[in-house]
Structure 1
Amino acid sequence: MHEPSILIASDSFKGSASSFRVAELIERGIRRVLPRACVKRLAIADGGEGTVDAVIAARSGEIREVDVLGPLGDPVRARYGLFDRGCAIIEMAEAAGITLMEQNRANALLASSYGTGQLIGDALDAGVRHIYVGLGGSATSDGGCGMAKALGARFLNASGEDVGPGLAGLRDLARIDLAGLDPRLADAEIVAITDVTNPLTGPSGAVTIYGPQKGIDVRDVGVADSWMRSYARVLEAVYRRDVDTVPGAGAAGGLGAALTAFCGARIERGIEFVLDAIHIDEALDGVDLVITGEGHMDAQSAFGKAPVGVARRAKARGIPVVAVVGGRAEDLGEVYESGIDLVIPTVIRPSTLEECMEDAVTLLPIAGESAARAFFLGTRARRVSRP
């Protein structure tokens, strides 16, 4: 029998295992069935958690650590990556992520993306002129004004005084002063990478859709969105451009809009950027089976999430794809239509979410074994069906 070549390219299982760790554990299970298989492992992400590690590992880059201000102004140690002599990859969540603060109304209104601007500034100081900013896992809903403040913009009220931090500060915004904006931005290429296409405001906007999960009271959403609409009008007056409806403008609490306006950034799909950056098309050469995955798979996984991005690349070559997941929705029709052939949940007995996360070291190898046995069964069935 031909010893198969298997590529494992799974997203992280958030709170449980990194992309690297998921692949390692799945391989353990594969080797219970196919001990001599050629197994390749690639870390992947979609612009959120794990993006820096995935790109830096694939491109032999370096990690840089910087002291910046967190979402509530407390000092945090944030990481970003340098690669390809002049490129940087930043995860905004390193400086302004939802795990860095408690989610409540007061914090949600004050949370700032200032630290993300400091990371961009540090990259510019390092001589970088190509900067990629991942927009996942945000704690903020400040429209990216904190990021712009860190790069020299001033946000002023009707009396010419600086407005306060966060979404609450936008309530008093009257004009933006760009006199101090870092001039190096004009010569830099900045790309925002995200898996969402939400506009800045309205029923599908940053505050309405993502605000409550960050702590904004649902009763305050309408008023808070009106502050964001006012901010969008000020941006349009300054730049003579409507960034409100740009797909992805509402990503990371509106940071997508700010990067577009203040930094001239373009917005790209996160998973496509990462897959190109890690050279997945080359990794697929000669592969017989792809195993991908994520912590929870549902209908939204078909729209820009990492496993489906991997599946589409694999299916273009006719390679079967198995997804190993922590949990799944009942209906995965759109996921299957997007290129995934089989979904294997890791849950094997009644368990709480916390228990499943703690048991990943046991459950992921079992799922990897199941994926390998399904592949072996399919291979044998093809041999039997031949005339």
Structure 2
Amino acid sequence: MKIVTAIDSFKGSLTSIEAGNAVKEGFARVDKSIETIVRPLADGGEGTVYALVTGTGGHFEDVTVTGPLSDKGNCRYGIIPGDVAVIEMSGAAGITLVTNEQRNPLNTTTYGVGEVIFDAIKKGCRKFIIGIGGSATNDGGAGMLMALGFDFLDEEGNSISLGAKGLSQLRSISCENACKELSECSFHVACDVTNPLCGPNGCSSVFGPQKGANSEMIAMMDSWLGKYAEIARTIKPAADPDISGSGAAGGMGFALRTFLGASLESGIDIILRETALADYIKDADIVVTGEGMLDAQTSMGKAPIGVAKLAKSYGKTVIAFSGAVSKDATACNGRGIDAFFPILRRVCTLDEAMDPENAKNNLADAAEQAMRLIYATGSITEIRG
């Protein structure tokens, strides 16, 4: 029997690969001849760099960059076969890098993201996969572009300040000094946010509060971003702040698409394509997926559903394992997951459940029992074949 696992990380407990290996261990207890192929899975957010690097034989790079508060810090990104750079913008401009007391999108910048891209360009990368979730910023990606050589100038011809407040000073943008190698690069952006740049559904109004913005700041930033889009259109006629995803990551979606020609795509679609999961699934007997928590939100297109959809296109049986499940997780059964199994085996504290060793053992034990059921019922015709 051939089984393919593509399980999202159990955040705080197991990486994608660790979860797959735990399932592999459980299946082997039943029959050592079972071939279990462990593949990485992520959704373009946290864990994407680790999943793709470890799952494709790539390597990590560490670079010192400007953090969201303009202090220096380390950002890790990945380079996978084909000289493809895999970057999580949260590593350089993430909200987890800013304390609750320091959160203020007027000050936070995406400059470090541009520094990471530039470092990867210097190391020969010309294709980029960028996850833009979890940002602390609302600067429209201006900081990133400035780090790549774009000139964002005030009325006196000086560079604007970093952070969203700098957009209040913006009078002109020039591409003349932008990194020349950018013309050779392609950018594929994991973006599952559909918000426009401005307005009541724009990034300032919807995501500003969680980044520390009050109502006055939201109104100012929304106005500044609107003027930024108008200025951008003078040199990039295709600039459109209303295109779906433009408001992602405080306007980073707009900057990437307008100035770097990026495609904004579903995160899971990018991951499935780059890991060539279809090549492994097409001749598998069972496909295994899962994540830390299965619920109704999972059914709305999160990573396990992406795997299930792909598997069903090849007519495969799909089972899922999860640290916990909600009552409404049954919605997943209608989206391609034939059966799912929570892995907790006894009443315990959250800390006990999330302990990596406990999670690994619980997952392996659950996988073993699921396989015993499959063998007992003969529900997969190829079991004995």
Q: Same fold (TM over 0.5)?
A: yes
Return the alpha-carbon distance in structure 2 between the equivalents of residues 382 and 355 of structure 1.
38
Question: Are 1:138 and 2:135 an aligned pair?
Answer: yes
Question: Are 1:318 and 2:311 an aligned pair?
Answer: no
Structure 1 letter corresponding to 2:140: G
Structure 1 letter corresponding to 2:251: G
By how many angstroms is 1:19 displaced? 0.9
1:230 to 227, 230, 235: 227
Return the alpha-carbon distance in structure 2 between the equivalents of residues 132 and 306 of structure 1.
17
Match of 2:59 in 1: 62
Return the alpha-carbon distance in structure 2 between the equivalents of residues 368 and 344 of structure 1.
9
Structure 1 letter corresponding to 2:176: A
Counterparts of 1:1-387 in structure 2, within 5 Å, are: 4-104=1-101, 106-217=103-214, 220-332=217-329, 334-349=331-346, 351=348, 353-358=350-355, 359-376=358-375, 379-380=378-379
Return the alpha-carbon distance in structure 2 between the equivalents of residues 219 and 298 of structure 1.
36
* Counterpart contact for 2:103–2:136, Cα < 8 Å: no
Root-mean-square deviation (Å): 2.8
* Percent identical residues: 39
C-alpha change, 1:97 and 1:281, in structure 2 (3 Å) is same
Structure 2 letter corresponding to 1:283: Y
Structure 1 letter corresponding to 2:28: R
By how many angstroms is 1:110 displaced? 1.9
Under a length normalisation based on structure 1, what TM-score does the superposition of the two structures give? Answer: 0.87
Structure 2 letter corresponding to 1:6: I
Structure 2 letter corresponding to 1:315: K
Return the alpha-carbon distance in structure 1 between the equivalents of residues 53 and 204 of structure 2.
32
C-alpha change, 1:379 and 1:141, in structure 2 (3 Å) is farther
Return the alpha-carbon distance in structure 1 between the equivalents of residues 106 and 200 of structure 2.
19
SS of the aligned residue for 1:367 comes to helix
Under a length normalisation based on structure 2, what TM-score does the superposition of the two structures give? Answer: 0.87
C-alpha change, 1:250 and 1:34, in structure 2 (3 Å) is farther
Structure 1, unpaired ranges of 5+: none
By how many angstroms is 1:47 displaced? 1.5
Return the alpha-carbon distance in structure 2 between the equivalents of residues 325 and 49 of structure 1.
18
Return the alpha-carbon distance in structure 1 between the equivalents of residues 297 and 363 of structure 2.
23
C-alpha change, 1:252 and 1:106, in structure 2 (3 Å) is closer
Structure 2 letter corresponding to 1:340: I
SS of the aligned residue for 1:327 comes to strand
Structure 2, unpaired ranges of 5+: none
Return the alpha-carbon distance in structure 1 between the equivalents of residues 364 and 196 of structure 2.
40
Return the alpha-carbon distance in structure 2 between the equivalents of residues 63 and 313 of structure 1.
29
Return the alpha-carbon distance in structure 2 between the equivalents of residues 68 and 94 of structure 1.
10
Return the alpha-carbon distance in structure 1 between the equivalents of residues 95 and 373 of structure 2.
38
* Counterpart contact for 2:141–2:252, Cα < 8 Å: yes
SS of the aligned residue for 1:149 comes to helix
Return the alpha-carbon distance in structure 1 between the equivalents of residues 132 and 52 of structure 2.
15
C-alpha change, 1:229 and 1:315, in structure 2 (3 Å) is same
Q: Deviations over 1:141-198 (max 9, x none)?
A: 2221111010012323344443322223333433323332222212322222233333
Aligned length: 380
Return the alpha-carbon distance in structure 1 between the equivalents of residues 299 and 217 of structure 2.
31
Return the alpha-carbon distance in structure 2 between the equivalents of residues 370 and 111 of structure 1.
49
Q: Deviations over 1:229-266 (max 9, x none)?
A: 33333323331223312222222222121111121212
Structure 2 letter corresponding to 1:360: A
Structure 2 letter corresponding to 1:294: E
